[in-house]
Every structure is written in C-alpha cells, then in structure tokens.
Structure 1
Amino acid sequence: MPGYRLGSLTAVSEFKEFPGQPAYCPDARHFIRTVLADHRRVVEDAELVVSELFGNGCRHTRSGEGGTLGVSVSALVTELTVVSVADQGPTAADLAARRRPVPVLKPADSDTLGWRGIHLVSEVADDWGYSPNDDGGLTVWAVFESPHPSMARLTG
C-alpha cells in the first residue's frame, strides 16, 4: 500500500463495502488486519472493535436486512488510528415505530444476554462515538491513540 512512511510504519486510509450479513464479518476483520499490517500495536484492538460494530450493524440496522455496511480504517505513522462502520439506517420495524436507535453505553447487567459490544468498544478504544450519514444511517467510529515511540520523543 502506498503512503507516507516513518520507519516501519506507513500511513494508510482504506474503505470497503460488505454485505450486511454476519457471514461477512470475518472478511471485514481480514480487511482491517491487512490494511493495518504495519500497525501491530493497534491491529488486534481495531480488528476486535470492527467485529463488534459490524455485528451491531447486521443486528440493529437496515444493513442487516439485505443492505451493506461500509468499513473504513485510517492510520497515521504516529499510530493514531480510526476505524468506522457505516450502516444504512433504522430497520423497517424501527421506522414504523418512529424509533431511531443509536449506540448507547448502558449499565452492565450480568443477567442480560448481549448488549456488551459497546462496553467492549469503550474499553478497548481510546474514544468512540457516532455521527449521522446523509442517507439516514450512522457511522460508528473508534479512535486508538497509541503513539509510536519515536513520535513520543518528538512531541514529549
């Protein structure tokens, strides 16, 4: 992948669209792992977060009803990394009920099955959030701020 290099790291920015079906989650993880091959300090966490966000998009949005999910990853040579998953908006049932679900960090309940994905994202990433898309969907993003040791010397 072409891009700006510092030592062994290359700045990267890639986007890929996948069918909104759980069977394509391994492909999304592989995409993240491939793009971030030089960014070993964040690749596993980024892959885990994309897996969670991809699964949420399949379960909770129109993307999982025959649509698609867009997966994006950008990493600088400082290892500041952003991953995101863009969905196609609320399900037909949510639209009919006039609901607009957004990811929320709910209190953990050990008796509840599921609802731990955003907790995992919150624990693994340095920051996360979401923003609305022009098509009615959401992009859920996560940031990893693991500075490269040589950059820490330059800034510290």
Structure 2
Amino acid sequence: MNPSTLHLAGPTRAFSLLLSSTRRGARLGRVLAMTEIRAWHLPPDVTERAELLVAELASNAVRHGRVQGRDFRLRLHIAPGSPAAPAAPAAPAAPAAPAASAALRIEVTDARGERLPAPARPVADGPEGGGHGLVLVATYADRWGCEPCPPGGKTVWAEVDLPPRRY
C-alpha cells in the first residue's frame, strides 16, 4: 500500500477556534488569532485593524453573548472578492467597476441569538464607560453585520478589505 500525501493548491487561510465564554477565553482568542494572522503576512494596516476587531468582537461575545456552559467560536478566513456589478445598459460609455478585492473576514459566534448587536451612544458616566464597542467595529471594519446561527445563536462578522493581490 502506497502512502498518499495531501497537496494543497496554496496556503490555507482559515482559522477556527472554540473558546470558553470568559475574559480569559477572549484574551486567548485574540492572542492566537493575531499569531495566525501574522503568519499569513498580511499588510500591517490590515493586521492592526484585525487585532482591534478580534479583541472587540471576542469581548462582546463574552460580555453580551455569554450563556453559562456554552462556548463561543472565533473564525478567521480570507473571503474572496465579490464580482463587480455589470454596467447599466443606459450608460454604455461608463467604464465597468473593478471587482471587489478579497477581505479578511472575522466571525464570532455566540449562544445569544436574541441579543442582536446595535450601535449605541457611548455611555461615559458609568463605572465601565461602555458603549464604544460597535462604534469601534464600524470604524475599523470595511463592512460588518450579524447573522442568525441556528438553533439559537448569532454570528457577528467584520471584514477588512485586502489590497489587490492574490492571498
């Protein structure tokens, strides 16, 4: 019997980890995610923005999405660019828009599907001074959103566009 070897077409650009819904789990997720992202040799501005986004989304999963005994999932991957929309027939002289570049997609899935994220006005008076999290996500991400994750959770995601090149 001959041993077989798996050959990949290129480097794998995906990372997924199940973490405890604790502050320690959020910190571990941030550290491991940044180690992985740095190994992908992405541009420094993408890496810096990703670090802030991972930290905020993981922290939010622990703070707002925690269910006793349930973990949260952190997932990173390179999402391919979406094809450009075709030019409208009424404007044939207009040049076609370029295809969107690939993006680093950060996803955090927690068990609280009924608690959807909504940017709020920051609260500076409280002892924790909260409310800045989703403002930061909206600032550092090129796109972000939330999707249901059956049977009862949600996935909050953020994307950072990559410069045009093959990843």
- With the shorter chain as reference, the TM-score category is 0.7 to 0.9
Aligned partner of 2:76 among 48, 73, 78: 73
Aligned partner of 2:64 among 55, 60, 65: 60
Instruction: Show the counterpart of 2:85.
Output: none
**Distance in 2 between the 1:4 and 1:124 partners?**
31
Question: Does the 8 Å contact 1:132/1:138 carry over to 2?
Answer: yes
Deviation of 1:4 after TM superposition, in Å, equals 5.3
Q: Is structure 2 residue 102 aligned with structure 1 residue 101?
A: no
**Structural mapping, 1:24-35, within 5 Å:** 24-35=25-36
> Residue by residue, what CA displacement relative to the aligned partner does 1:17-68 show, whole Å, maximum 9, x if unpaired?
00111112221112211221211432221121111111111111234x2320
Counterpart amino acid of 1:129? Answer: G
Q: Is structure 2 residue 138 aligned with structure 1 residue 122?
A: yes
Structure 1 or 2, whichever has the larger Rg, is 2
Return closer, same or farther for 1:103/1:76 CA change in 2, 3 Å cut-off.
Answer: closer
Aligned partner of 1:44 among 42, 48, 53: 48
Question: Does the 8 Å contact 1:39/1:79 carry over to 2?
Answer: no
Unaligned runs of 5+ in 2: 1-6, 81-100
Q: Which moved more, 1:116-125 or 1:52-61?
A: 52-61
TM-score by length of 1: 0.75
Q: Is structure 2 residue 106 aligned with structure 1 residue 83?
A: yes
**Distance in 2 between the 1:101 and 1:140 partners?**
11
Unaligned runs of 5+ in 1: 91-99, 152-156
Deviation of 1:76 after TM superposition, in Å, equals 5.8
**Distance in 2 between the 1:124 and 1:111 partners?**
25
Q: Which runs of 4+ in 1 moved over 4 A?
A: 2-5, 76-79
**Distance in 2 between the 1:15 and 1:45 partners?**
19
Q: Which moved more, 1:77-86 or 1:112-121?
A: 77-86
TM-score by length of 2: 0.70
Aligned length: 135
Deviation of 1:3 after TM superposition, in Å, equals 5.9
Identity of matched residues, %: 26
**Distance in 1 between the 2:36 and 2:18 partners?**
14
Instruction: Show the counterpart of 1:136.
Output: 152
**Distance in 2 between the 1:3 and 1:74 partners?**
16
